[in-house]
A and B are shown apart, each in its own frame.
Chain A
Amino acid sequence: MSETTEKVRKTLARRYRAEKRFKAFGIGSIGIGLMALVLLFTDIIGKGYSAFFEYEIQLPITFDAEVLDVSDPRDEDELNYGNYQGVIRDALAERFPSVEGRQDTRALNQLVSTGAGYALRDMLREDPSLLGKTRTLWLLTDDDVDLFLKASEKQREDSRLNAKQQQWVAELEASGETRMVFNQSLFSYGDSREPEQAGILGAILGSLFTMIVTLVLSFPVGVAAAIYLEEFAPKNKFTDFIEVNINNLAAVPSIIFGLLGLAVIIGLFGLPRSVPLVGGIVLTLMTLPTIIISSRAAIKAVPPSIRQAAMGLGASKMQVVLHHVLPLALPGMLTGAIIGMAQALGETAPLLMIGMVAFIVDLPAGPLDAATVLPVQIYLWADSPEQSFEALASAAIMVLLAFLITMNTLAVVLRKRLERRW
C-alpha cells in the first residue's frame, strides 16, 4: 500500500462524516423552510377559523308597538327610529327576572349585540304584521359573549365578561338557548367598530375595483410595451435606457410607488385620496415591470419561422405581430398578468401612502368611492386592541390567501392548457 493510499484511507471516515453532515444541513434547511410555511398556515387557520362562526342566543321578542314607538310599520321614518333596543331589553329582563339594579341591568343588556336591533327592524319591514306579536328569535351576541362561548374552560377565566355575565351566559348555554351559526355578517358588511358586525365585503369590493383598474391599465400598456421592445425597438441607447428602467423598477421597494402616488397623482393631479382609482394607478405602475418582462418572454417563445412565413405571404411587420405573434403569445402574457395581479392583490404598503387606511363602513359602489382593500383591512384589524379583531384578521387572511391560491392555480392551469410547445 502506498503512502498516499494510506493517508486517504485514514481520512476517509472523517470525509464521509463531513459528507453526511453537509447533506443533513441541506435537508435541515429545506425542513426549516417548509416548517415555517406549515407553522404560518396552521397559526393563521388556528386563529381565524372561529371567526367564520358566531354565537346567537334565543329570546322571545315581543314587537310591542308602545315600546317600539312604531304605530305603522309601513312608514319608513317611524321604522328607522324605532326603539328596538327597548324590546330586546324587555325580553332580557323577562328571561332573567332576578336581575335588579342599574349596573346589573346594563351588564345584562350588554350580552346582545347592538346590531341585533337592526335585524329586528329588517324583520319588521319584511313582515309588518309582526307588530304586537311575540316571536322566539335568535339574536346576535356581543363579541365578548361570543369569545366567552367559543373559549375553552381554562380560557374562560380571562374573559372580559364580569362574574354575573359569565353566570348568565353559562345558564343560557346550559339550557340550550345558545347556538353557533355561520358568520354571515363577515361576508355581507363593511368594517365596523363592533367586531361582531364587522365584515370584509367592503374590503373585497375595494380590492375588486382596484384590481379592475389595475388590470385595465396595466395589461394593454404592458403588452404594448413588450411588443415594442421585442419587435420594433431599434438597438440604441434609448431602448437600452428603457430596459434598464424596467429592470430597476421591478426591484424598487413598493412603498416608493406609494410616495409617487401621493406626490404626483394626489398632490399634482388632484385626484381624491382613498379611492380605488388612485390605488389602481399606483399598483399599475408597480406591476407593469412584471407584466412587461413576462410578456416579452412569451413573445420571444414564438418561433421566428411563424414570422417569416407571414412575411413571405406579404404581411407587413405590424400585421405579422398583431395577426400571428400576439395571438400565439397571448396565453403566456395572460399567465404573467395573473401573477402580476396576484402580487398587486397582496400589496399593502403603497396603498397606506395614498390614504386607503381610512375607516370606511359603507360599501364602495365604484372606483371613485372611498374604500379600503383586503390586505389593508387585515392590517387595520391586526392593529386593533380588541381580541375579536385578531380572529377577524386571520379570517380575512384566509380569504385573501384563497383568492391568491385560486389566481396562481389559474395561471398554472392556463399555462398547461394553452401554452404550445414548438
Chain B
Amino acid sequence: MQTGNLLLLLVVMVAGAYFVGLRRSYALARPLGGIRHLHSLPFYFAMRSAMWCAIPALVVLGLWLAFDDSIIRQQVLAGLPAELQPTDASSYNLTLSKIQNVASGALPVGFVEPPIAAAAENLQSLRQTSAMAMTVVIIVLCMFGGAWAWLKVSPQLRARQQVERVLQTLFMLCATVAILTTVGIVLSVLFESIRFFGKVPVTDFLFGLQWSPQTALRADQVASGGAFGAVPLFMGTMLISAIALLVAVPVGLMSAIYLAEYASNRVRTVAKPALEVLAGVPTVVYGFFAALTVAPFIRGMGESIGLNVASESALAAGLVMGIMIIPFVSSLADDVITAVPQAMRDGSLGLGATKSETIKKVIFPAALPGIMGGILLAASRAIGETMIVVMAAGLAANLTANPLEAVTTITVQIVTLLTGDQEFDSAKTLAAFALGLMLFITTLVMNIFALHIVKKYREQYD
C-alpha cells in the first residue's frame, strides 16, 4: 500500500479509536450514575485511546520510512557478483543509479549486464515486500494500541494526567527543534568541511591567495590543479560589506536620530513604516535592481569621467546592499535612542545645550554600546547576504581593494559551487561547505557578541 493511503487509513483508525474510547467511557459511567463518577472527562479517555493507537504506529512508520531504502540498497548491492561490486564512492553511485533506472523502467533490461538486471528485479521485489510488511506492521500496531487502551479504560484511570503529560512532552519536542536545527547545521557543515580539509590543508584554505576551484574532470585536462585559497573571498566579502555599511550606518543612524528626536508625530507615522518597507523587499528584487539598473548606471558614470568600471563592480552590489540594511540600522538605533532616559535629555537641555549638542554629547555616547551592537548585527547580515551579490557581484576571485573592480564573495562562491551537477564529494563541492562553516562561525560570533552588548546596555538603564 502506498504511504499516502496508509496515512489516510491511519487517520481513520485513530478516529475510530477515539470514538470507541468515548463510547466505552460513557458506557462505564452510566451504571455508576453519570460521568461525574469518572476520574477524567470522557474526552480524555477518548484522546488516550487515540494516542495509544497513533503514536506507536507513527514512530515505527517514521523509522521505517527513514531507513528502509538504505537497508534495501545494501542488500541489493551485497547480492551483486564480486566483479561488479563497487569499489569507491562514485562507482557506488553509478551502479546504484543504473539498478534504479532499470527497476523504474527508464533503462531497458537489454542494455545492462544480466547481474544488474537481476539486481533490479531483486530491488523491486524487496521494495514490494518492505511496503507490504510495513502496511501489516502499522495496522497491527494500531489495532493493538487501540485495543490496549480500550481494555484499560476504568473509572479510576487517570486519563487526563496521562494525556496532558504526552501533550507537554510533544510541546517540549517542538521546542527542541531549534536545538536540532543548530546541531544539524553544525554537524552537516562540519563533517563536509573535515572531509574537505582532508583533501586541502586548512592553512592553504585560510591563508592562500589563489582561488580557482575548477578541478579536472579528466586526468589529461590542463589547469586542473584547483586552488582553494579563500583570502580573496574574505577580502571581497569585507569590501562589499564595508561599502554597504558606509551607506547604511550614516543614513540609518541619522534617520533614527531624526525620527526619535526631531520628527513630529505625523512625520513619524509616515516615514517609519515607509523605511521599513525597504526591509520587507525580497533580496532577489534588490539583486535585480543592482544588476540591471545600478551597475550599468555606475559603469556609465565611470565611463563619462574616464574611469574604467567593471560591469559587476563591488560598488554597485555594496550600494544596494547598503540600502537594504538601512532599516536594520535605523530600527535598532531607534530602539536604543528612545531607551535613553528622558532625564538625561532634560539635564542637558536645561544647561543650555541645543538639541543637536544634546544628541551629540549626551545621547549618542549613552546609546553608543547599543548602536555598536546594532551595527554589528547589520554587518553580520551584510556578510551573509546572498542574492544581491550572486546577481550583481563577479565570479572571478580578485584580490583588490578597488571598489570599481569586480570581486567575489563567500556566498557567491557557495552558490556557484553548489548549483549545477557535480558529484557530492569532489573537493569543489566540499569547498562550499568549508566556506559555509566560515560564514556560520563568523556570523555566529558577531551575533552573540552583538546580542550581548545590546542586552548589557539595556540592563544599564532598566
Contacts and interface: CB of A to CB of B under 8 A. Distances in A.
Among B189, B283, B380, max chain A CB count under 10 A is at B283
B456 to A, nearest CB: 15
B385 interface: yes
Given A43-B289, A378-B285, A233 B188 contact: no
Nearest to B451: A247
Contacts of B288: 44, 378, 382, 393-394, 397
Contact of B287 (A22, A25, A345, A382): A382
Contacts of B354: 15-16, 18-19
Contacts of A292: 178
A187 B170 CA distance: 42
Interface stretch (A61-69, A77-85, A146-154, A251-259): A251-259
B280 A408 contact: yes
B386 interface: yes
Interface string A255-268: 11101101110010
A347 B69 contact: no
Residue with the highest number of chain A CB atoms closer than 10 Å, among B172, B262, B293, B326: B172
B259 interface: yes
Given A29-B258, A249-B178, A269 B292 contact: no
B415 A40 contact: no
B178 A246 contact: yes
Given A256-B185, A378-B285, A26 B387 contact: no
Contacts of B79: none
A181 interface: no
B29 interface: no
Interface residues of B, number: 89
A316 B182 contact: no
A378 B181 contact: no
Given A29-B250, A30-B271, A292-B178, A349 B411 contact: yes
Contacts of A378: 284-285, 288
Chain B interface mostly = helix
Interface in A37-82: 37, 40, 43-44, 47
Contact of B171 (A8, A27, A228, A248): A228
B391 A260 contact: no
B97 to A, nearest CB: 13
Interface in B397-450: 411, 414-415, 418-419, 424, 432-433, 436, 439-440, 443-444, 447-448
A193 B183 CA distance: 41
Contact of B178 (A15, A37, A227, A242): A242
A40 B281 contact: yes
A370 interface: no
A138 interface: no
Interface string B360-393: 1000000000000000010011011111001100
B181 A260 contact: yes
Contacts of B175: 224-225, 228-229, 233, 242
Nearest to A229: B175
Nearest to A221: B174
B444 A248 contact: yes
Contact of B174 (A33, A228, A383, A404): A228
Residue picked from B278, B292, B386, most chain A C-beta under 10 Å: B386
Contacts of B292: 47, 382, 390
Interface in A194-224: 220-222, 224
A225 B178 contact: yes
A30 B262 contact: no
A19 B352 CA distance: 13
Contacts of B69: 270
Contacts of B340: none
B439 A251 contact: no
A225 B381 CA distance: 26
Contacts of A36: 278, 323, 326
A285 to B, nearest CB: 5
Interface string A381-410: 011000000100110010011001000100
Interface stretch (B52-60, B147-155, B160-168, B238-246): B160-168
Contact of B160 (A30, A221, A288, A316): A316
A255 B443 contact: no
Contact of A357 (B359, B419, B439): B419
B361 to A, nearest CB: 12
A348 B388 CA distance: 11
A43 B436 CA distance: 34
A37 B286 CA distance: 11
A401 B330 CA distance: 23
A232 B165 CA distance: 11
B313 interface: no
Contacts of B99: none
B285 A34 contact: no
B251 A400 contact: no
B248 to A, nearest CB: 10
Interface of B: 66, 69-70, 160, 164, 167-168, 170-172, 174-179, 181-182, 184-185, 188-189, 191-192, 250-255, 257-259, 262, 271, 274-275, 277-278, 280-289, 291-293, 323, 326-327, 330, 352, 354-357, 359-360, 377, 380-381, 383-387, 390-391, 411, 414-415, 418-419, 424, 432-433, 436, 439-440, 443-444, 447-448, 451
Given A259-B433, A375-B284, A376-B284, 20 more contacts: A26-B262, A29-B251, A33-B327, A33-B330, A36-B323, A47-B292, A220-B174, A224-B174, A225-B177, A251-B377, A251-B381, A255-B386, A256-B384, A259-B189, A270-B70, A316-B164, A349-B415, A352-B386, A378-B284, A404-B282
What are the 10 A-B residue pairs with the smallest beta carbon separation, nearest first?
A: A253-B384, A26-B258, A346-B282, A263-B188, A29-B254, A22-B356, A349-B386, A224-B174, A228-B171, A225-B175
28 contacts: A15-B354, A19-B355, A26-B255, A27-B258, A29-B255, A30-B259, A30-B275, A33-B330, A36-B326, A37-B278, A224-B175, A225-B178, A227-B171, A241-B179, A242-B175, A245-B178, A253-B386, A253-B439, A255-B436, A255-B439, A267-B188, A288-B181, A348-B386, A353-B414, A353-B415, A378-B285, A379-B391, A397-B285
